[in-house]
Amino acid sequence: MQATERESHESAVATESASATKDASDEGVRSEKAAPIRLRLESRSRELVARLPGTAALLWFGLTALIAGVPSTLIPSPGFDPSWQAGIGFAVSDNLRFGQDIVFNYGPWGFLDWPQHVSRTQAALGFLFGMAAVLALYWVVYLCVRPRWSGGVAGVIAFAVTVASAPAGPGGRLVYAGLLLTLLTLHDRFTRRIDTWRDAVPVVLLTAVGTLLLQVKFSEGVVLLALAGLVAVSVASVRQLIRGVGRALATFVVTFLVLWVGAGQRITDIVPWVRGSQEISSGYQEALAIEQGEFAFGYLTAGFLALVVGFLALRLAVRHKTVATAGIVVVSAVMLAFGFKHGFTRHDPAHEVSFFLAAGFLIVGFTTWVGRPAVALAAAAAAFLMAPSSLANYDPFLARNQWRTGIELLINNDYRLTSVEAGRARARDTYQLPESIVSELRGRPVHVDPMELTLPWAYSLDWHPVPVFQTFSAYTPYLDQLNAEALIEAPADQVVLQEATLGIDNRNIRWDTPRYLLALACNYRVGARAERWTVLHHSLNRCSAPETTVSQPVTAGTPVLVPQVGTGEMLVARYRPEPSSMLASLVHLGLKDWSPIEVGADDRTFRLPEALTDGPLLVSLPAELAWQAPFDAFQYRQLTFNRAGTVEFQVIKVQ
């Protein structure tokens, strides 16, 4: 009996021991399975903590917002650039239709990039947009450099480069923030190599902001959407590719329609607006390809930075051979091309900043990847030193004064109204428009030719512009024809106030947008005149169809005699240059046209956009159609072309 009890007890102990051993074994297995997950979570937690901003970073951000996020104090004013910048806001305030009434490379939200006190709403939204751009750029720079440096040092770097990017404006800052977010996303995919919900965030965010920028400034929106597309396709599997592209397309369509309709625009105007914006962007590359000032140093510095960026990108791609590093090469090429087109097409110190900022932010983004981040940061510093025109961008006292004025304009309505009225008075003092002309303009739709869009605002006139409202920006036949048709189809009481001025960039103002000028000469009659101003009233067409009199080949540098015409006849020329070689065309397309068309008219030589060489170019204007210089009666004696081709002269009879 005792033996039986002993055996039973031993059996129970053995069973309990076996059960405990099994439990311990199962716990060990679970622990082994959980270990990799725990390690990954700990690693991600450490990385997240490392990137969280500390007190120093927050203080530097506050200083950045103070200096770089100032509200606008701009009030519309006369001049070449101030007029088109204010004109975007005027178009929105007057409920003009983008794509029909207005065709420009800025869209219905373009006033966000150049907020002026056309209205309080525009100024307030512009302030919020600018502050958001500063916030985004600062923190993305901080996230790029924080893993390599302390929070305080990372804050200083983010402050310095964000303030240095002031010439880019809010839209440009968002492009560079998008660039850095793209590089961070590719680096994140390279280190994780797994598909999670986090992969959706950069694609959706870049696409949404890029779509907004498309309706702010067309070219900046295109480049940011290109970066969003690169993030969407830089994945390791077809499943991820389909997901990424689907997210991008859905985000683009929804965001575009919401913004377009929210701006009070019509769905039917989307296609003509996109077409017109594309025409202006592409035409700009050829029409304004010019070198101004001391340009050699800019090219040398740009070449050095391009080599640095290319070396870093290709080294990463060759060393790692992944989709993410291949994406780095494509991103670098896209941004360098964007910077070069913006910075060196119309090449002067103010424009070349675009390239140096693009190169600088690319190198800042590479600090996450390279083994010697300090060397990369030194190269980036060389790029950013080329950007600011002075240390005034870093002046906290100047920023303080701008905050004082900007906030007062936003909050104090009496102060704002007084300031705006003072701005109108200053503009009127500049224009010096006689009362006789003002009275002739009142009560009629007014277009101001060629560029002073602030004038109708200064005199409280009814602004009714042609679609490309600064006419020299109609760089292509399509844009030129839009303006010509707008003049012809304008209301019967339409008037054009033309200022006697010279062409820009050594272009002949008699040939700027030739179809538009022909429509103006034939369909408008002279009204009041005073000093440099002439009023032209819409009337019936007084010109016959053109008839060809002479068509002949021309050789480069050989003068061509202009045929004589009789009284009451106008002569126009159509020049068709021989096409450039394939190599030259590729250089022009990829980089810049360093050999523009030049046409000599008697003793002067002018640049002529190649897209507009078919004219019809005015070479003779009779007294019956003339108004004031440079559109007084004239006839050129000879023309000289710098490229071989064919020239055709046509006579138009004045009825």
Dihedral sign from CA coordinates of 449, 455, 461, 463: positive
Closest by CA to 252, choosing from 280, 271, 229, 220, is 229
C-alpha span between 515 and 353 (Å, rounded): 35
Query: Is the Cβ–Cβ distance between 441 and 494 less than 8 Å?
Result: no
Dihedral sign from CA coordinates of 301, 304, 307, 311: negative
CA 50 from chain centre, in angstroms, equals 35
Report, in angstroms and rounded to the nearest whole number, the Rg of the chain calculated over CA atoms.
Answer: 32
Amino acid identity for residue 313 in this structure: A
Closest by CA to 340, choosing from 379, 377, 293, 301, is 301
Q: Supply the pLDDT for residue 506.
A: 87
Query: Is the Cβ–Cβ distance between 264 and 109 less than 8 Å?
Result: no
| Cβ-based neighbours of 515, under 8 Å, separated by 6 or more | 477, 480, 481, 483, 484, 616
Closest by CA to 339, choosing from 317, 324, 354, 328, is 354
Structural domain boundaries in the chain: 424-537, 547-653
In 573-645, which ranges are continuous DSSP H helix? 582-590
Q: Supply the pLDDT for residue 371.
A: 81
Residue 482: helix, strand or coil by DSSP? helix
Q: Supply the pLDDT for residue 235.
A: 85
**Residue that is written with structure tokens 């002279």 in the block:** 526
CA 432 from chain centre, in angstroms, equals 34
DSSP assignments along 279-322, one per residue:
HHHHHHHHHT-EE-SS-HHHHHHHHHHHHHHHHHHHHHHHHH-S
Q: Supply the pLDDT for residue 153.
A: 92
- Whole-model pTM: value is 0.88
Q: SS3 letters for 180-222?
A: HHHHHHHHHHHHHCCCCHHHHHHHHHHHHHHHHHHCCEHHHHH
DSSP state of 452: -
Q: Supply the pLDDT for residue 333.
A: 93
CA distances (Å), origin 385, targets 29, 362, 390: 58, 15, 10
Burial string for 224-246 (b: 16+ CB within 10 Å, else e) reads: bbbbbbbbbbbbeeeebeebbee
User: Which residues of the chain have a pLDDT value below 70?
Assistant: 1-53, 192-197, 389-390
> What are the E-state strand segments in 520-628?
524-530, 533-538, 547-554, 560-561, 569-577, 598-601, 604-607, 617-621
Closest by CA to 402, choosing from 71, 64, 63, 4, is 71
Residue 371: helix, strand or coil by DSSP? coil
